[in-house]
Structure 1
Amino acid sequence: MVQQVSKNVNNWIDKNNQNKVTKKPIFIYFTGHGILNERNSDNNALMLWNNTPVTVAKLSNTLNKLPQDSHIVTMMAQCFSGSFANYIYENGDPNKPLTKQTRCGFFATIKTLPSVGCTPEVNEADYKDYSSSFFAGLSGVSRMGQKVDSADYNKDGRVSYSEAHGFAKVDEKTTDLPVSTSEVLLQQKASEEDINQLLNTPIIDLEKLANPQQKYVLNSLVKLLGFDEQKSYLETLENINPYQKTTQVEQAYRIRLLMELLNVRMEQKIRQSNNQEEIAILERLIDCESSSWK
């Protein structure tokens, strides 16, 4: 079975390379099992049949067989999927340069945590996972065929992948901590000083720096959590009764809010820097994430 999958992938790549028609962007969706590489969480793996792993490095190198002008977007829902944000680098190694191909992606959770996508539920109405929320935001319809609020937050007439990602951060009522390639990059660059500054900055001040999708996420999570946007994240937490019981989902929402504030803070910091290389890399990832099916 695994050999057949590899053969099918290679056949698809060969067919794609032979296609002389204007190439369309490639969208790769994986839902299944993932495993943590305890020696190097930057190179986790997704699992095929017969428990055969495909590491970040393996995926990155396999995609190198496609033309250099390929535009590739991934969406992955497996456990420890955030590690696959590294597929944008040569050999899947974050210490190496970006590949020549345009690559970006969206992941159910960070590289060190399991996701809730592996569910024993047999009733589709009970499914609560990142991919269900992501595709609902992207299409405007839930997996049960019900219309959902539009995720076109910048009002440009289309829903981008990044907007669907923002929709999922609020819609998905689970313990997942969704991330994108640009967000992983931003969070990795944050210093202790950066984190301390944002913890003590009024939330509303960071909201003013956010793009439409980020504003939606920040405003929605602030309301869901009952936070005061006039106060800082840390001040709000300090005013919460320590004996007040919170659910695991609420705790996840708090972390998602903190992560979103950090994304806004670090994006602004990079844009205001004189490091043209870092600015170019960030712009490249954001442009890719802002693409869409339409």
Structure 2
Amino acid sequence: MNLLLPLLLAPATRFLVVGGGPNPANNQVALEFNVQHFARILPKDAPYRVLFADGDAGTATVRFTPEGQTPGLKDQYKQPQLPRLDGAASLENVNREIASLASGGKTPVFLYFTGHGTIPKPPNPRLSSFNLWKFENFTAVDFARSLTSFPKDVPIVALMVQCHSGGFAKSLFKDGDPDQPPLNNRFCGFYASIESRSAAGCTPSINTKSYRDFTTYFVAALAGEDRQGQKVSGADYDGNGKVGMNEAFCYALVNDDSIDTPVCTSDEFVRRVVKMPEEEIFATPYSSVLKMATPAQRGALEALSTSAGLKGEDRLAVAFENYPSLGSRDSMDRIRGFRFVRLAKTVVMGSKMASHSDAALRRRYETLIKDEAANPLRP
């Protein structure tokens, strides 16, 4: 019996949190609060480690706006207050921590990155970067290569909420190159924005009730409570009493009132694997799309359609004509319309995977969909 005890007590998931900005001026308090919030809603006794800013709890590296002041005018700096701090958010430490997780057996892994991101000019999604302390960069290529050190059957989840984070969805593929085959692993991820756009969530404001960003809604849906500890409902789209990450993603698509344009790995997968003209995709009748969709996708499509003022069987075509892309100052109605276009495209293209000629790609997609439906925070 004693020999079985370690197996019975094995943790459900190991967590790594990487947070903070590249310097104090860009290390806004919202990033610290994200780490605090995420640590608070982890499963009891879940093993986790935190890399944040310079790794020193004694230095004033966190920028904040005092209550009652206008952000940016009289900002101040304070020491980070985190439940634990295991080191600086440096490239060396990130690589070391991921390597340690990869050597830790078959226990699932969850990686949460909350900070800033950049993409080079001209844009190269493979070089989308998470900006580490002292302006070191952890790129989508770095991430994809680090995933190859994990056992193939270990579930790995990435939640990345920095600007341009969608570029990291390409870590599904060898060397982060979508022209290469998908990696034979169990990686899935959720991202705050498409690779070409900024994301919300890097404010120096200490008023967490005003936060509108992907972390706020995605994590709230998974944990069943918001940043203030209030119960959150409405994300269990299939009514099975549990909320999967796929449902949390759709909940965020509907409720995140910000510039965010969330992306998940299955979005990226079907766009690279399924060959289908856009004219055919957006000519699909809306009623047919609803039949193809999962309960979560249906709920999000209906809500986004309503908020964007879309009606009729040809609403995919109308939406694509009106919301093919976004500018830097678009209204929430346009942002929701754009989210509708992206989600509808994923649903239509995803419906083609069941008949795809490549059996290995079909199996990889089935595994991806299954892993995206898990909930590591509330297993």
Same fold (TM over 0.5): yes
Matched, 1:117 2:237: no
Cα deviation, residue 112, structure 1: 0.9
Query: Against the structure 1 CA distance between its residues 280 and 250, is the aligned structure 2 distance closer, same or farther, given a 3 Å change threshold?
Result: same
Distance across 2 between alignment mates of 1:288 and 1:117 = 26
> Size of the alignment, in residue pairs?
285
1:219 alignment counterpart: 302
**Partners of 1:13 and 1:66 within 8 A in 2:** no
Give the aligned partner of residue 347 of structure 2: 264
The partner residue of 2:279 within 184, 196, 202 is 196
Cα offsets for 1:113-165 (capped at 9, x unmatched): 11112224321111100111100111121112222223222233321111111
Against the structure 1 CA distance between its residues 143 and 95, is the aligned structure 2 distance closer, same or farther, given a 3 Å change threshold?
A: same
Distance 1:53 1:135 in 2: 25
- Mapping of 1:174-213 within 5 angstroms? 174-188=258-272, 194-213=277-296
**1:132 pairs with 2:220:** no
SS of alignment partner, residue 66 of structure 1: coil
- Distance in 2 separating the partners of 1:67 and 1:155: 33
Q: Of 228, 233, 246, which residue of structure 1 is paired with 2:311?
A: 228
**Worse-superposed segment, 198-207 or 281-290:** 198-207
Does the residue aligned with 1:32 lie in a helix, a strand or coil? strand
Q: Which amino acid aligns with 2:256?
A: E
Displacement of 1:284 in angstroms is: 2.4
Verify the 8 A CA contact 1:201 1:232 in the aligned structure 2: no
Change (3 A) 1:96 1:237: closer
Which residue is equivalent to 2:134? 50
CA contact (8 A) 2:246 2:373 kept: yes
Structure with the higher helix share, 1 or 2 = 1
Written as runs of structure 1 = structure 2, the 5 A alignment for 1:54-73 is: 54-73=138-157
Q: 1:14 to 1:237 in 2, by over 3 A?
A: closer
User: For the Cα contact (< 8 Å) 2:103–2:150, is it kept in 1?
Assistant: no
Shift in Å, 1:180: 0.4
Q: How high is the TM-score relative to the length of structure 1?
A: 0.86
Could you tell me whether the CA contact under 8 Å between 2:159 and 2:190 is conserved in 1? yes
User: Using the alignment, how far apart are the partners of 2:217 and 2:211 within structure 1?
Assistant: 10
Pairing of 1:73-152 with structure 2 (within 5 A): 73-152=157-236
Instruction: Name the counterpart of 2:125.
Output: 41
Instruction: Give secondary structure in 2 for the equivalent of 1:27.
Output: strand
Give the secondary structure class of the aligned counterpart of 1:116. coil
Q: Summarize the Cα distance change of 1:80–1:19 in structure 2 as closer, same or farther, 3 Å threshold.
A: closer
- Provide closer, same or farther for how the CA distance between residues 38 and 189 of structure 1 changes in structure 2, counting only shifts above 3 A: farther
Mapped to 2, the partners of 1:81 and 1:271 lie a distance apart of 29
Deviation at 1:45, TM superposition (A): 0.7
Give the Cα–Cα distance (whole angstroms) in 1 for the partners of residues 354 and 115 of structure 2. 37
Work out the CA distance in 1 between the residues paired with 2:99 and 2:353: 39
The answer as to whether partners of 2:117 and 2:129 remain within 8 angstroms in 1 is yes
Q: How does 1:160-175 map to 2 (within 5 A)?
A: 160-175=244-259
Distance in 1 between residues matched to 2:152 and 2:364, nearest whole Å: 17
Write the distance in 2 (CA, Å) between the matches of 1:278 and 1:234. 29
Q: Please give the secondary structure, in 2, of the residue aligned with 1:38.
A: coil
Q: Distance in 1 between matches of 2:191 and 2:320?
A: 27
Residue 33 of structure 1 aligns to a residue whose secondary structure is strand
1:200/1:235 contact within 8 Å kept: no
Asked if 1 retains the 8 angstrom alpha-carbon contact of 2:128 and 2:139, the reply is yes
Pair 1:287-2:357 in alignment:
no
User: Structure 1 residues 238 and 29 mapped into 2: Cα distance closer, same or farther (>3 Å)?
Assistant: closer
The answer on 1:249 being equivalent to 2:329 is: no
Matched-pair contact (CA < 8 Å) for 1:204–1:229: no
Alpha-carbon distance change, 18 to 274 in structure 1, aligned in 2, over 3 angstroms: closer
* 1:26 Cα offset (Å): 0.6
Range with bigger deviation, 6-15 or 88-97:
6-15
Q: What is the RMSD of the two structures over their aligned residues, measured on CA atoms?
A: 2.7
**Could you tell which deviates more after superposition, 8-17 or 92-101?**
8-17
- Greater shift, 179-188 or 70-79, is seen at 179-188
Q: Percent identity?
A: 31
- Where does structure 1 lack aligned partners over 5 or more consecutive residues? 240-245
Give, in angstroms, the shift of residue 184 of structure 1.
Answer: 1.5
CA distance in 2, matches of 1:14, 1:249: 40
Query: Aligned in 2, Cα 1:276/1:82: closer, same or farther, shift over 3 Å?
Result: same
